[in-house]
Structure 1
Amino acid sequence: MALSWRARRRLALLLLLVGMPAYVIVAVTVMSLLDRPHWAVELAIYVGLGVLWALPFRFVFKGVGREDPDA
């Protein structure tokens, strides 16, 4: 069952307001448990984690910034 535009918009907002900060906290906590790597490696890890966070939810964010197609 496909999500409606309105449902995708609400889910995207929920993911950005709740999911993303929670993911950032988890990522920083895990990185703090490890020995601090070189700054370039650390930056690459954070960039990689940032991209990996968005991949599963790209269907939710797709088309949310456009006008409602059903209106």
Structure 2
Amino acid sequence: MALGYKARRRWSLVILLIGLPLYIVLAVSVVSWLGRPPILVELLVYVVLGLLWALPFKFVFRGVGKENPDDSQG
């Protein structure tokens, strides 16, 4: 079942406003669990975790910033 434009916009807001802060807390918890590794390792962990969160939601964010294709004007 494909999501419509408005549903993708709503889900993207939910993901960014609720899911992303929760994921940030999780990422910081993972790094603190590692016991404060060297700064380059810590940076690498944050970069990898920062990229991994978006992969499952790529289909939701695709085309959200563009004009609504469902509007038939003209």
**Which has the higher relative contact order, 1 or 2, with Cα contacts under 8 A spaced 6 or more apart?**
1
- Where on the TM-score scale, by shorter chain, does this alignment land: which range? over 0.9
Identical counterparts, % of pairs: 59
Could you tell me whether the CA contact under 8 Å between 2:31 and 2:45 is conserved in 1? no
Query: What's the Cα RMSD here?
Result: 0.7
TM-score scaled by length of structure 1:
0.96
Gaps of 5+ in 1: none
Q: Which has the larger radius of gyration?
A: 2
> Residues 16-70 of structure 1, C-alpha deviation per residue, up to 9 Å, x if partnerless?
0000000000111121122211101110110000000000100000000001001
TM-score (norm. length: structure 2): 0.92
Aligned length: 71
Higher fraction of helix: 1
